[in-house]
């Protein structure tokens, strides 16, 4: 289930926060220029931690390697 989406000021980057109800794990899909870079699970983290990670990516603080 998608919970939230974050975007960079120029819309080049996007982070989509998802929650898997079966496993109770948050995920973030990190995109750059419309291409999925990484889908990362955040085990044992709360929504606030995950939202900070998503915002940091969109603000250029968190670098996500291209693995997709």
Strand order in the sheet with 35-42: 2-7, 13-20, 25-32, 35-42
What's the domain count of the chain?
1
What's the CA gap between 65 and 68, in Å, rounded? 9
Residue-by-residue pLDDT tens, the chain, 68 positions? 999 999 999 999 999 999 999 999 999 999 999 999 999 999 999 999 999 999 999 999 999 887 65
> Which residues form the domain of 9?
2-58
Q: What is the pTM of this model?
A: 0.93
- The answer to whether residue 24 is domain-embedded is yes
Task: Give me the pLDDT at residue 65, please.
Answer: 83
- Domain for residue 64, yes or no? no
Residue 65 lies in a domain: no
Residue 66 resides in a domain: no
| Residue 63 maps to a domain | no
**Structural domain includes residue 26:** yes
């Amino acid at each position: 289930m998608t919970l939230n989406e974050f975007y960079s000021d120029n819309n080049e980057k996007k982070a989509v926060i998802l929650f898997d109800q079966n496993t109770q794990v948050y995920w973030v899909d990190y995109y750059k220029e419309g291409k999925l870079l990484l889908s990362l699970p955040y085990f044992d983290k709360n929504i606030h931690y995950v939202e900070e990670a998503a915002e940091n990516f969109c603000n250029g603080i968190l670098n996500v390697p291209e693995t997709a």
